[in-house]
Amino acid sequence: MLPSHDRYPFSPITGRADYSWPDGKRLAAYIALNVEHFAFGEPPGSDFTSVPLPPYHRSYAWRDYGNRVGIWRILELFEELQLPLALLVNGSVYDYCPQVIEPFRQRGDEIVGHGRTNSQRQADLPEEEERRLIAEATETLTRHEGKPPGGWLGPWISQSLVTPDLLKEAGYRYMLDWHFDDQPVWFRTRAGPLLAVPYPTMELNDSTAIIYRRVSEAAFGSMIVEQFDEQLEQSARQPLVFTLSLHTFIVGQPYRLRHLRRALTHLAEHREQVWFTHPGRIADHVAALPPGTVPGDERA
């Protein structure tokens, strides 16, 4: 037998129990905006051109554009279209640029835990250090937002073998690090069940698409529309979750924002058919379903 994580059972989507989202809607949709801060002088990660040399100021400045300019343009767009957002926030953002969170807090957008900084991968840490990282990030968000975050996405979408266990033990209700399904699925952890809510780690994510796969801005906009339209049709058969991941320093660039605006305008035109929401509300809805409805639910 090959090694297995033993976290969830195999379950073909065509053979599952049926359910609906609020108001009988069949497609839930949320859009995640990554709000990140990076350490100066340390390798910041991917770059469009050659790998920069220390102190990596070019890549640092590119990312800093997202907090200084890009996020404010994105905010204007989402206000114009009246679409909700989930903010995936590094704890260090509250030290460096806390002003960027305030308007989203006023909108009622969900704040999701996203580690201390995207300069650090939690999978590189021993268990006790990873536990401290989660605790520190959680305390920072709780202190500033007045309540603990319900969801978590690891910086760099990075997990160790015990991350789900540590998240459940820290009080998290759901995580976004695993996108292996178009519906939420329950994970086993040593402290009880933890919900995995879909998140586009490799697909409908501006970072993986535009930076790594060199997808054009127009093609990325088309990907958003085609994914949404296809899932809207498929959701007549099963309830589904549409997800889109954005980064302030990528789609916050003006020429990319034009294409994003066209795609999101198309999505907003279907607001009567679709539940535009936050991942935390998706998790709450799933947790309230009858036992055994959702794969991995061992209450049945």
Segments making up each domain of the chain, as ranges: 24-38+51-287
154-166 pLDDT, tens digit each? 999 999 999 999 9
Cross-strand bridge partners of residue 111: 87
- 177: tokens are 């690090």
117-126 pLDDT, tens digit each? 999 899 999 9
Can you tell me which residue has the tokens 């061992």? 298
On whether the CB atoms of residues 245 and 205 are closer than 8 A, the answer is: yes
Q: Rounding to the nearest 10 degrees, give the CA dihedral for residues 155, 157, 162, 166.
A: 50
Q: Show the DSSP H helices in the chain as ranges.
A: 57-65, 71-81, 93-96, 102-107, 127-145, 163-169, 206, 217-234, 254-268, 279-287
Taking residues 224-243, report their average pLDDT.
98
Burial letters 117-141, b for 16+ CB under 10 A, else e: bbbbbbeebeeeebbebbeebbebb
On whether the CB atoms of residues 189 and 165 are closer than 8 A, the answer is: yes
218-233 pLDDT, tens digit each? 999 999 999 999 999 9
179-215 pLDDT, tens digit each? 999 999 999 999 999 999 999 988 999 999 999 899 9
Nearest to 250 by CA among 279, 221, 277: 221
* Radius of gyration over every alpha carbon of the chain, rounded to an integer in angstroms: 19
Summary mean pLDDT of the chain = 96
- Secondary structure of 200-221 as H, E, C letters: CCCCCEHHHHHHHCCCCHHHHH
pLDDT tier, 300 (very low <50, low <70, confident <90, very high otherwise): low
* pLDDT value at 1 more than 90: no
Taking residues 281-294, report their average pLDDT.
97
* pLDDT value at 102 more than 80: yes
CATH topology of domain 24-38+51-287: TIM Barrel (3.20.20)
| β-strand pairing of 27-35 with 86-89 | parallel
pLDDT tier, 47 (very low <50, low <70, confident <90, very high otherwise): confident
pTM of the model: 0.96
83-97 pLDDT, tens digit each? 999 999 999 999 999
CA distance 176 to 246: 14
Identify the burial level of 156 via C-beta atoms within 10 angstroms of its C-beta, where 0-12 means exposed, 13-18 middle and 19 or more buried: middle
CA distance 130 to 132: 5
Asked which of 39-43, 51-55, 205-209, 223-227 is least confident by mean pLDDT, the reply is: 51-55
